[in-house]
Structure 1
Amino acid sequence: MNDGLAFPFVNLAIAISLSAADGEPWLGTWIAHNVLWEVGAGVLIGRIFGWLTFLIPADTKLAQTGDGLIAIAATFVSYGLTEMIECYGFLAVFITALTIRHSHREHDFHREMHDVTEQIERLAMMILLVLFGGALVNGLLAPLRFMDVMVSVIVLLVIRPVAGWIGLLGLEAARREKLTLSFFGIRGVGSFCYLAYGLNNMPIEGGERLWAIVGLVVLLSVLLHGLTVTPIMRQLDRSQGRDPDAEGIPPSGLQRPG
């Protein structure tokens, strides 16, 4: 959902950039196509696939297979079809999962899908971080300038926490929990996708420098948040009356986001 709702604004930046280059109007096209059509189609396709998993005739229900890999298949199919009609595949995948979850909340099939997707997610993140490390070794950060480093630090320590705090307005949670969530945010790996998408859809100079800035933000996030998450979460548990060292006591519900 986070990525699906971010893409209209990625396309907004692209539309403004292209308009500055050729003078063509952008607002009407952006609202009609990038917001109404692409968001609407992503939601619709996600709803359809979630519905098919549980609500088609019993003798052909996908849930009857008992195979957790159905979740991965639904992800690829809903994402692929949505992208084929130039809409937001990320959003379709989220709506698919949400619809599946709400179609039959007590079905054992949910546990099968959860276990499989959790393992695959960990493997995918491991592979991505290995590739990211290879890019660092091969000079990903070489184009950086001093100002770029300062911008990256400000993004990580100021802009992202403030944006996270604003996003949590209205959430019924203790102030300490909101501060924790705002500080950690997410690693920002999705920014690679946004940047690649943007560079493929608009002419721009200094693409390598942009890759270096995004790479530095992700690297700093991995290091800073990876080193601080355990002590901060333990302190949060203690502040809420939980002993993080006691056996049988579940950890805080605030898990480190991907």
Structure 2
Amino acid sequence: MRFGLTSEAGLNDALAFPFVHLAILAAAGGLASGAGLADWFTIKVGWKLLAGAGMGLLCGRAIGFVLFHGARGGLSRMGDGLVALAATLITYAATELVNGYGFLAVFVCALTIRSRERDHDFHQEMHDFSDQIERLLIMLLLVLFGGALANGLLVSLTWTDFAVALIVVLVVRPVAGLIAMAGSRQPMREQLLLAFLGIRGVGSVYYVAYGLNHGDFGDSERLWSVVGCIILLSILIHGVTATPLLSRLARRREAETG
């Protein structure tokens, strides 16, 4: 379950960019233009996704070789999880140079590295280091988010916006998740948990900022308020329920197998 949530979060962030570009195109009135749609489909969807996946695979294989089969046994002999951060930055930068989606490349790179020497202890070293870095960054982001709330992030929020935020967290996300897992062999209770948990939406801050810097979306303050409300609701709802729900699932699994 935890791996599923982490994977979904990484892939979800990676695949959001084409829709951000589509929104920018719509804001500019380009949906009525065949040339605009053709550019979006061929470049923003086709090339950038292909380049992101291809560079992720290429970098993953190259870094995996250096880690496990390089000179004198590879960099894995150092036992330094900092390599995970280096792999992230190298892959992202290389992909951006070829005009691909860096988020997607990093996700594919991580899976590719993991597929090499699956039983090697160094994978745990990189995981532990990455987990610590993630916790530190999330803590920093939450502090900044709290400061934004205190400085009026939600001032422009209307009751209609609040209702929309609730619907996104409690209806749109779960329904979309269940549709995405149609035909999955996982038990329904696990599908329900995967569909319900994991929204947070911190990545949305990046995409909203990118969209506002590349298109005209009207009242940006109201848009920021809606996004901030969704993140706040997710932190409260999912933050409170995630641990007990996953613990309950673990207990039920133990009872069924024991």
Instruction: Give TM class, smaller chain.
Output: 0.7 to 0.9
Find the partner of 2:71 among 21, 35, 59.
Answer: 59
- Give CA deviations for 1:158-217 in whole Å, capped at 9, x if unaligned: 111111111221221221221222222321111111111111111221111101000001
**Counterparts of 1:99 and 1:112, CA distance in 2:** 16
* Distance change (3 Å), C-alpha of 1:143 and 1:193: same
The gaps in structure 2 that reach 5 residues or longer are: 1-10
Find the partner of 1:168 among 162, 175, 181.
Answer: 181
The secondary structure found in structure 2 opposite 1:25 is helix
Q: TM-score w.r.t. structure 2 length?
A: 0.86
Greater shift, 200-209 or 215-224, is seen at: 200-209
* Distance change (3 Å), C-alpha of 1:200 and 1:93: same
Greater shift, 71-80 or 15-24, is seen at: 15-24
**Counterparts of 2:18 and 2:47, CA distance in 1:** 11
Matched, 1:108 2:115: no
Partner of 1:48: 58
Aligned counterparts, 1:198-217, within 5 A:
198-217=211-230
Matched, 1:11 2:21: yes
Asked if the contact 2:30/2:36 (under 8 Å) is kept, the reply is no
Asked if the contact 1:53/1:62 (under 8 Å) is kept, the reply is no
Find the partner of 1:137 among 132, 138, 150.
Answer: 150
Greater shift, 94-103 or 170-179, is seen at: 170-179
**By how many angstroms is 1:55 displaced?**
2.3
Find the partner of 2:140 among 109, 118, 127.
Answer: 127
The secondary structure found in structure 2 opposite 1:127 is helix
Partner of 2:112: 99
* Distance change (3 Å), C-alpha of 1:48 and 1:240: closer
The gaps in structure 1 that reach 5 residues or longer are: 244-248, 250-258
Asked if the contact 1:83/1:89 (under 8 Å) is kept, the reply is yes
Q: Give RMSD over aligned pairs.
A: 2.3
Q: TM-score w.r.t. structure 1 length?
A: 0.86
Partner of 1:229: 242
Partner of 1:71: 84
**By how many angstroms is 1:147 displaced?**
0.8
Matched, 1:26 2:26: no
**By how many angstroms is 1:23 displaced?**
5.4
Normalized per residue, the structure richer in helix is: 2
Partner of 1:192: 205
Runs of 4+ in 1 over 4 A off after TM superposition: 20-24
**Counterparts of 2:197 and 2:106, CA distance in 1:** 24
The secondary structure found in structure 1 opposite 2:28 is helix
**Counterparts of 2:31 and 2:250, CA distance in 1:** 53
Asked if the contact 1:54/1:62 (under 8 Å) is kept, the reply is no
Partner of 1:219: 232
The secondary structure found in structure 1 opposite 2:29 is helix
